[in-house]
Amino acid sequence: MKTIFNETTRDELINRINTLDESSTAQWGKMNVYQMLKHCTLWEEMVLGNKKYKRALLGRLFGKMALKIVLKDEKPLQRNTPTIAELKINGNGNVSTQKIKWLARIDEYQHFSNLDFVHPFFGSMTKEQIGYMVYKHIDHHLRQFNS
């Protein structure tokens, strides 16, 4: 399974992100390209330990089981997968600037050190699980924008 901690995989994702521009449109969902870029930047900041969000009650009850299902194979995340309220983005902004910010966060995975990461839904995750989930999340949104 692909992981963000593999340099070749990171390079592949970076190349795909670099294909995005102001004219990129979603194949599904409600986000525009700026909102997706901002959402993903905030998501990376959460995983990297720069932002923390409260655990969801449903996640406390079903998070571990859901994580096993999501990570059991290389199957991409389903379309319209829900997210936490704090990562729902409204409005517009500068796509190029936001893309640069997201790419900088992705580059930080070379030196990942947030081994105590707790996902708001899935809960505590191992480094291996984090690597797989980060890849799947990024891939999900790049597929959403046909990149």
The whole-chain average pLDDT of the chain stands at: 97
Task: Return the sign of the alpha-carbon dihedral for residues 124, 40, 10, 49.
Answer: negative
Q: Indicate the SS3 state at residue 118.
A: strand
pTM score of the predicted model: 0.96
DSSP string, 44-102: HHHHHTS---PPPHHHHHHHHHHHHHHTSSSPPPPTT----GGG---S---HHHHHHHH
3-56 pLDDT, tens digit each: 999 999 999 999 999 999 999 999 999 999 999 999 999 999 999 999 999 998
Q: Which of 114, 119, 117 is nearest to 62 (CA)?
A: 119
